[in-house]
Amino acid sequence: MNDSNSQATGDLRSSYRTVRQRSERLCAPLETEDYCVQPIPEVSPIKWHLAHTTWFFEAFVLQEFVPNYRVYNSSFNYLFNSYYDTIGNYFPRPDRGNLTRPLVKEVYEYREHVDQAMQSLLQSAIGPEIRDRVILGLNHEQQHQELMVTDFKYILGKNPLRPSYIGNFSKLESQAVDSLTYSTFDEGMVKVGMEMNGSGFCFDNETPEHQVYLAPYLLSNRLITNGEFEEFVQDGGYNDPRLWLSDGWAEKNKRGWLLPEYWSGEHAERTEYSLSGDRELDASQPVTHISLYEADAFARWAGARLATEFEWEHATRSRGAEELSRVPSDNDLHPRPALHSNRLQQLIGECWEWTSSSYSPYPGYTPLKGALGEYNGKFMANQFVLRGGSVATPPGHIRTTYRNFFYAHDRWQFTGIRLARDVG
C-alpha cells in the first residue's frame, strides 16, 4: 500500500476498508472446501491467511494501543501467530491444513470483529506510531493477498479435476513476440534502497538507502517467453548437468522436475494450468512458475546470466517505472505477452524476477523494534531476492526498491526470467 506522511486519518480509514475488502473479494469465487487445505507446507489454507492478517491487527495494533481491548479468542493467538517467537508459541506451520476449526464463517466473524474495533480506533485521533502500524498491517495483508492467489492456484491446479478459479478471463489473442534485445547500462555509483519514514511506506529490508558500485551491464528488454523456454526443454536442458547449479541439479532430480510447474502434456500438445483452467500453452506469454535453478540454467544455456538485484533496481529506477509496466487488474491473473517494443518493459507487475542476489541485510540495516523485528530480518539466509511484483501483487503495493525473497527451489509463486550480460 502506498502511503505518505501527509495522508489524513480519513484516508487511512478508507485504505483500511479497501485493503481488507479486497482480501474477501479475492475469495468470493472460492467454495468453503477451497479454504481449508495445505497440499505442501509452504501453501497455507486460505482461511488461515484471512485469520492471520486479522490477528496481525489484533496483536500489533489493538492489543498494544487500545486500552481494555478484549482479545477475541485467546487460542487464536496460538493458531494464527505465524512465526513471532517474541510473542509466544505458535501452531506448527506444516499442520495448518489439519485445522477444520475455526470454520470459514467463524474466521469471517473474527475479521468483522477486528474490523469494527479498528474502525473505531481509526475514527479517533491517532499518533504516528499507531498510524505506522496500521500501514504496516495493510501492507502485510497485501502480501498475503498475493500468497492467497498463488496458494489457491496451487490447490486448484494440482487437483486432477483442474477446476478454474473464475471462468471469464478475457483470452488475449496470441501473437508473436519480438526477438530478445538488451538495454545497456554504464558503470557507476548508484543509489539503491529507501529511507524508512521517507516519502511513503517501505519494509525494513529495503533500508537504508545506500550506494553501490555497478560495473557496466546489459539487461534484456522483456521477460523470457514460454516459447523460448520450450526450446530449452527441447534442447535437453533438463538433462544436462553442466547447465545447472549443483544444488539445483540435485533438487531437480529429487523432485522429478521435467517442466515448469503447471505445464503438462507432450511437446506437441503442451498445456498450462492458469486460474481459468488448463489451456494450450501460449508461446508468447512469459514463462512463469519456475525455480531459481531453472531460471539460472536457462540463462546459462542462453549464454547469459541473471541480473543482480541492484542491476535490476538501477535499470528500473533510471527508466522510470511508470513507463515499464501496464496496470494489472484482479481480472487478469496471468502474465501477459510483451508489447512490440525494444524498450525495457514488463519490469513491474508481470512476474517476480529471480535475481542472482542472495537475500542479505543492507549495510546499516536495523530491524524494527520488538516482535516486528522478526518480520523480515530472520529470513536473511539461504534465500534469493526477487524483484518487480507479479500479476498477483495488489495494485499499489509494488515499488522499485521492493525485495521479495524465496528459496531457490520454490516454484509456486509467479516467478519469471529476465536475462543480463556483462559488457565487453
Residues near a copy of itself (CB under 8 A) are 31-37, 39, 75, 78-79, 83, 85-86, 91, 95, 97-104, 155-156, 158-161, 163, 189, 210-215, 217, 241-242, 244-249, 292-293, 296, 305, 308, 356-358, 360-361, 363-364, 373-374, 378-382, 384, 408, 422
CB 79, min distance to a copy of itself, A: 6
Cβ 272 to a copy of itself shortest distance, Å = 19
Using the minimum distance from each CB to a copy of itself, give the nearer residue, 181 or 382. 382
Q: Which is nearer to a copy of itself, 201 or 405 (CB)?
A: 405
Nearer to a copy of itself, 10 or 370 (CB): 370
The three state secondary structure string of the chain is CCCCCCCCHHHHHHHHHHHHHHHHHHHCCCCHHHHCCCCCCCCCCHHHHHHHHHHHHHHHHHHHHCCCCCCCCCCHHHHCCCCCCCCCCCCCHHHHHHCCCCCHHHHHHHHHHHHHHHHHHHHCCCCHHHHHHHHHHHHHHHHHHHHHHHHHHHHHHCCCCCCCCCCCCCCCCCCCCCCCCEEEECCEEEEECCCCCCCCCCCHHHCCCEEEEECCEEEECCCCEHHHHHHHHHCCHHHCHHHCCHHHHHHHHHHCCCCCCCEECCHHHCEEEECCEEEECCCCCECCCCCHHHHHHHHHHCCCEECCHHHHHHHHHHHCHHHHCCCCCCCCCCCCCCCCCCCCCCCCCECEEEEEEECCCCCCCCCCCHHHHHCCHHHCCCEEEEECCECCCCCCCCCCCCCEEEECCCCCCCEECCEEEECC
Nearer to a copy of itself, 9 or 358 (CB): 358
Query: At its nearest, how many Å lie between a copy of itself and the CB of residue 229?
Result: 20
As measured in angstroms, the least distance from the Cβ of 218 to a copy of itself is: 12
The least CB distance from residue 223 to a copy of itself, in Å, is 22
Place of cell 480509514: 13
The answer to whether 46 and 149 have CB atoms below 8 angstroms apart is no
Measured from the CB atom, is 33 or 322 closer to a copy of itself? 33
Which residue number, 135 or 155, has a Cβ lying nearer to a copy of itself?
155
Residues 312, 398 contacting (CB under 8 angstroms): no
Residue number, 51 or 324, with CB nearest to a copy of itself: 51
**Cα–Cα distance, 226 to 229 (Å, whole number):** 5
Exposed/middle/buried for 306, CB within 10 Å: 0-12, 13-18, 19+?
A: buried
We find the least distance from the C-beta atom of residue 71 to a copy of itself, in angstroms, to be 15
User: Nearest approach, Cβ of 28 to a copy of itself (angstroms)?
Assistant: 16
Residue (45 or 328) nearer to a copy of itself, CB: 45
Considering the complex, state which of residue 259 and residue 372 has its C-beta at the smaller distance from a copy of itself: 372
Question: Is the CB of 352 or the CB of 354 nearer to a copy of itself?
Answer: 354
Q: How far is the CB of 159 from a copy of itself (least distance, A)?
A: 5
Rounded to the nearest whole angstrom, what is the least distance from the CB of residue 339 to a copy of itself in the complex? 30
Provide, rounded to whole angstroms, the least separation between the CB of residue 172 and a copy of itself: 27
Closest CA to 121 of 51, 67, 201, 50: 67
Cβ proximity to a copy of itself, 10 vs 241, nearer residue: 241
139, 60 Cβ separation under 8 angstroms: no
How far apart are the C-alpha atoms of 342 and 353, rounded to whole Å?
19
CB of 280 to a copy of itself, least distance (A): 20
